[in-house]
Structure 1
Amino acid sequence: MREIVHMQVGQCGNQIGTKFWEVISDEHGIDPTGIYHGDSDLQLERINVYYNEATGGKYVPRAILIDLEPGTMDSVRAGSYGQLFRSDNFVFGQSGVGNCWAIGHYTEGAKLIDAVLDVVRKEAESCDCLQGFQLTHSLGGGTGGGMGTLLTSKICEEYPDRIISTFSVIPSPKVTDTVVEPYNAMLSFRYLSENTEQTHCIDNEALYDICFRTLKLTTPTYDDLNHLVSTTMSGITTCFRFPGQLNADLRKLSVNLVPFPSLHFLMPGFAPLTSRASQQYRALTIPELTQQIFDAKNMMVACDPRQGRYLTAAVIFRGRVSTREVDEQILNIQNKNCPYFSDWIQNNVMTSICDIPLRGLKISANFIGNNTAIKEVFKRISEQFTAMFRRRAFLHYYPYEGGMDEMEFIEAESAMNDLICQYTENWDASVDEEEEDTGSQNTTNVTGGNDDSSMTAGSSNSKYDYLQQGIRYAEQAVQDDKAYNYKAAAQYYMSAADSLMHA
């Protein structure tokens, strides 16, 4: 079988991960003790992807639970599915990190990482044909962000040919726990960009909006948010766990969704999302479901897909649905919304159908989109980061307590700016091709105006962004005479020069 090893790091990662195991255990007919009580052979056909069959017919999750303090582990053990997990796979410290990314990545996390990797090796060795790793964590926390990214880099070194897929909860200013979340998220994104093949972005702000506006919950709890996330994760992994027509493993999903290695930040979604009061009065049709799945209100990320373009997308339908009707509706959506789909990737919306429905629904659909609008989320985090970093607020916790260099903040900011520019350039590439297709032979923008409009938007914007950042750090260097500011200014000027050469 093509097995997947699941890892959950930090308090948020463990809460989401545990809820995910509850949902898929129910779908596969596995009770809280690991015994199968299902009624369909399809439940067992590919169960070895996520479960290992132990002695006595007990099914044990291929899961590793990690935290730097014991409290979360105690909560998981005390929960209804606490006895489902292998006791040796609980790996935890005693000190905690106090929401400091540097402690999770460089000090306390580094002390625990060898013990974690030993458990990872044992799980990997028990697989017949390991296809990859799945990680749930939060980017705003010290353990989830700091140790989670350390774990991805170590696994990338040890298993370079295996896929790493993450479900990463992105911090939001509207739903915040700690003031240093922008620092933690910015530092985490750099490692996710380098070491993972798929990052499913989940935004607390979007989850709260869904609970308030769509589900009509007046006081949503973290259990409500975790239920939304676990339902989405269950749908995305459906094609790994049950027989399907397309996207049968992590690598196929990557090939279909990721056109360039660094552009692997995906927007998940789910439909139908209706309040419990109105759910029993609605009989959903495929056209309604397809319309909902592309709606911004059904996305788990707080950005509007209409502000960008879909490079690629995948829609996974569950229940008794007609393949022909699905294909017709997807084609209809693309034809009606041509400006919102990339025109240089043909057949860029993939569909998959699983006959086994989600509990309580006759039909449902999960969505995974690679849309350039996700750069708005990155810009939001970057702006919050810059506002604090410019004043060096809360920075003393990181070098002194975490043992990291301030230069790492500058490199993380540079990596984020590069990522934003890449998404911008791929949005502009579509616009340029449209201009060429209409027969425009000149190099100026059709709207005319000032001289800047004659340049390619992506290269121009990135060049000026780099110059502005370089000037900012050069001015700071003149004031405080710090070496890292000189280095940062030089790095941005070099990036501007590279951008000019390739323009």
Structure 2
Amino acid sequence: DGQMPSDKTIGGGDDAFNTFFSETGSGKHVPRTVFIDLEPTVIDEVRTGTYRQLYHPEQLISGKEDAANNYARGHYTVGKEIIDLVLDRIRKLADNCTGLQGFLVFNAVGGGTGSGLSSLLLERLSVDYGRKSKLTFTIYPSPQVSTAVVEPYNTVLSTHSLLEHSDVSFTVDNEALYDICRRNLDIERPTYTNLNRLVAQIISGLTASLRFDGALNVDLTEFQTNLVPYPRIHFVLSSFAPIISAEKAYHEQLSVAEITNSVFEPASQLVKVDPRHGKYMACCMMYRGDVVPKDVNAAVATIKTKRTIQFVDWCPTGFKCGINYQPPTVVPGGDLAKVMRAVTMEANSTAFAELYSRIDHKFDLM
């Protein structure tokens, strides 16, 4: 409901979680976020769901008709009618911030709204907020699992504005998520809830440094500096470890070395590309929980000796590591086990081209 638990005494307004929440006069914490969709059904679920008390009604913006999987409708016709309202709401939130750092945009580029409206939004944010960083978490269409025939069109069209108007793009695809749910979590028929919770863990791992204090805290702008060698090469592969169900976690010893090794396995990746076919340009690891720098250094040293992990010759073999002492949290009744430590890896690899050549091929088939 946005209230602090009574046993937690509230410090000054400078607590780390105020990055994502603003406190009202009555002590309620409201997320600094806007939900946008061109049709009401999904956002209505938020309006009536468990967390309906948390959001300000004005932060949930929905239109009357959706983009019908059509990029042009999302960008030019239906999207154009709603964008000014959206920017107005964003402006209100931005004015509330003492030092606005940037924007996190969550979208999927397979549908019409996710591709068209998000492109329009990124373009307009560039105009209104200039050099504020924009990080996108983008769900790409997957090789086997498809929800619409025109996914390749929408993806290719939205890529242009992702190239020009986003600073770092963290990529995920549905098929990799489905596979992880089946293989690691033993869920036979994963639902969108299962997939979303998995993506949420990644985002939580990335933003932990903004929300809590830690030994080697990594700022979002540092990510950008470390992961992006040239402005246009900013598409990043995400992986996470340990992804493990409660039944299995009981029998496994998940040491720092072990989770570090498993995060480099193709099986832990949230995108269906094989990193062994490409070379790494940069690599960031965010550890959280019971982790000390000594263990991290040892684990990374072991990784460097492996011949399977190759870096491009024009880039130093750097691993950027961050440590946060807040252990990972899980959704009550969720699929993931509560673990003592976890790691999120973001890697800029040439293997990412595989994803685009696949979409390109499908584009040509139509």
Interval of TM-score (by shorter of Structure 1 and Structure 2): over 0.9
Distance in 1 (alpha carbons) for counterparts of 2:352 and 2:10:
36
Aligned residues: CA RMSD: 1.7
Q: Match for 1:303: what amino acid?
A: V
Comparing 60-69 with 326-335, greater Cα deviation is found at 326-335
Evaluate the alpha carbon distance shift between residue 260 and residue 41 of structure 1 in structure 2; reply closer, same or farther with a 3 A threshold: farther
SS in structure 2 at match of 1:262: coil
Correspondence for 1:253 = 223
Matched residue, 2:153: 183
Among 374, 397, 403, the alignment partner of 2:352 is 374
Matches within 5 A, 1:132-281: 132-246=102-216, 248-281=218-251
Partner residue of 2:2 out of 34, 45, 53: 34
Instruction: Report the number of matched residues.
Output: 356
Map of 2:339 onto structure 1: 361
**8 Å contact kept, 2:256–2:295:** yes
Whole-angstrom CA distance in 2 between matches of 1:185 and 1:191: 11
Give the C-alpha shift of residue 95 in structure 1. 1.5
| Pair 237,334 (structure 1): closer, same or farther in 2 beyond 3 Å | same
Q: How does 1:37-436 map to 2 (within 5 A)?
A: 37=5, 45-246=15-216, 248-337=218-307, 340-359=310-329, 360-388=338-366
> What stretches of structure 1 of length at least 5 have no aligned partner?
1-32, 389-503
* Structure 2 residue aligned with 1:393: none
The 3-state SS of whatever aligns with 1:259 is coil
Q: Tell me how far 1:37 sits from its aligned partner.
A: 1.4
Q: Is the 8 A contact 1:247 1:253 kept in 2?
A: no
**Partner amino acid for 1:35?**
Q
Residue 201 of structure 1 aligns with an amino acid whose one-letter code is T
Over residues 209-244 of structure 1, what are the superposed CA-to-partner deviations in whole Å (9 max), with x where a residue is unaligned?
Answer: 111122221111111111100111111111111113
Larger Rg: 1
Deviation at 1:38, TM superposition (A): 7.4
Q: Greater shift after overlay, 366-375 or 83-92?
A: 83-92
**Cα distance in 1, alignment partners of residues 220 and 292 from structure 2:** 25
Return the letter of the residue paired with 1:76: V
Q: Which amino acid aligns with 1:370?
A: N
Provide the rounded CA distance (Å) in 1 between the counterparts of 2:308 and 2:67. 48
Q: Which has the higher helix share?
A: 1
SS state at 1:98 partner: coil
Per-residue deviation, 1:196: 0.2
SS state at 1:270 partner? strand
Report the secondary structure of 1:81's partner residue. Answer: coil
Amino acid at match of 1:344: W
Q: TM-score, normalised by structure 2?
A: 0.94
1:428-455 CA deviation, whole Å, 9 max, x = no partner? xxxxxxxxxxxxxxxxxxxxxxxxxxxx
Q: Which runs of 4+ in 1 moved over 3 A?
A: 38-44, 245-248
Distance 1:42 1:182 in 2: 49
In the aligned structure 2, how far is the partner of 1:160 from the partner of 1:294?
36
For 1:328 and 1:39, the matched residues in 2 are separated by 39
Deviations 1:247-279 (A, max 9, x none): 532211100111100010011111002233211
What secondary structure is seen at the aligned counterpart in 1 of 2:100? strand
Q: Which moved more, 1:92-101 or 1:124-133?
A: 92-101
SS at 2:328's partner residue?
A: coil
Distance 1:250 1:320 in 2: 22
Question: What secondary structure sits across from 1:129 in the alignment?
Answer: coil
- In 1: Cα distance, 2:54 partner to 2:228 partner: 34
Q: For the structure 1 residues 193 and 216, does the alpha-carbon distance in structure 2 shift closer, same or farther, using more than 3 Å as the test?
A: same
Alpha-carbon offset, residue 338 of structure 1 = 6.6
Report % sequence identity: 38
Residue 286 and residue 40 in structure 1: after superposition, are their counterparts in 2 closer, same or farther (change >3 A)?
A: farther
* Alpha-carbon distance in structure 2 between the residues aligned to 1:155 and 1:194: 12
One-letter amino acid matched to 2:293: T
Tell me, in whole angstroms, the C-alpha distance in 1 between the residues paired with 2:313 and 2:18.
Answer: 39
Q: Is the 8 A contact 1:131 1:249 kept in 2?
A: no
Letter in 2 for 1:205: E
- Structure 1 length normalisation: TM-score? 0.69
| One-letter amino acid of the counterpart of residue 23, structure 2 | E
